[in-house]
Amino acid sequence: MTDLKSSLQVVLQDAGYQTWLVSLDDLEAIGFEDDAAMGFAYVFEDAASMLTRWRDLETRLLTRHAPSLQKAGEKTWNIYSVFLCTELATTDQLREVRWIEEDLERTRKITGCGLTSNSDVVTALLPLLPLQYQPLLDSEDFDLTQRLVKRIANIAPAAADAALDMEIVPSEVVRLLGAEQ
């Protein structure tokens, strides 16, 4: 099993966030910030603890850091509270955890339960991370002309070659298109 707090910090740092530890009584949170967003991430043992404590922790950390948050300017629209736990949640708990994300008061929220690996942490934090997927295109996809010819061929095979041929007058292309119907 992965140390969730360490994984969380590494994933955020790899995404370009500055991170730091924030102590709040018996709980240690991770503060994070980049040019566009900022927030706090909390790691709980289980979903029950998360459901019981998330609102109080959010309030206390926001109150404690209010002066610096008020100086954040435009970034105050992108303050996140992240609530994660390593244990799996029951179906009822999972529904309640999802409701936390629906709570739009004060901060944006991200939740995740049953996180045991770095990839789980990445998946939970996707709203905060740069795009993770880079599509690979075939070399033929770069040739827009060929793509257009293929589409025309699917619609009107007889007109496919003629449609982009500069030697053929448009009226002939229209005639060929009409012949397909």
What integer pLDDT is reported at residue 137 of this predicted model? 56
Question: Would you tell me the crossing angle of helices 47-64 and 91-102 to the nearest 10 degrees?
Answer: 20
Q: Please, what are the averages of pLDDT over each run of 10 residues along the chain (181 residues)?
A: 82 95 85 93 94 94 86 83 95 94 93 93 92 61 70 79 79 74 53
> Cβ distance 33 to 16 under 8 Å?
no
What integer pLDDT is reported at residue 180 of this predicted model? 54
What integer pLDDT is reported at residue 173 of this predicted model? 78
What integer pLDDT is reported at residue 1 of this predicted model? 40
What integer pLDDT is reported at residue 69 of this predicted model? 82
What integer pLDDT is reported at residue 141 of this predicted model? 52
Task: State pTM to two decimals.
Answer: 0.70
> Cβ distance 42 to 84 under 8 Å?
yes
112: which strand partners? 84
Q: Tell me: domain 4-128, CATH 3.40.1350, correct?
A: yes
Domain boundaries, the chain: 4-128, 139-180
What integer pLDDT is reported at residue 136 of this predicted model? 59
C-alpha to C-alpha distance for 61 and 69, rounded to whole angstroms: 10
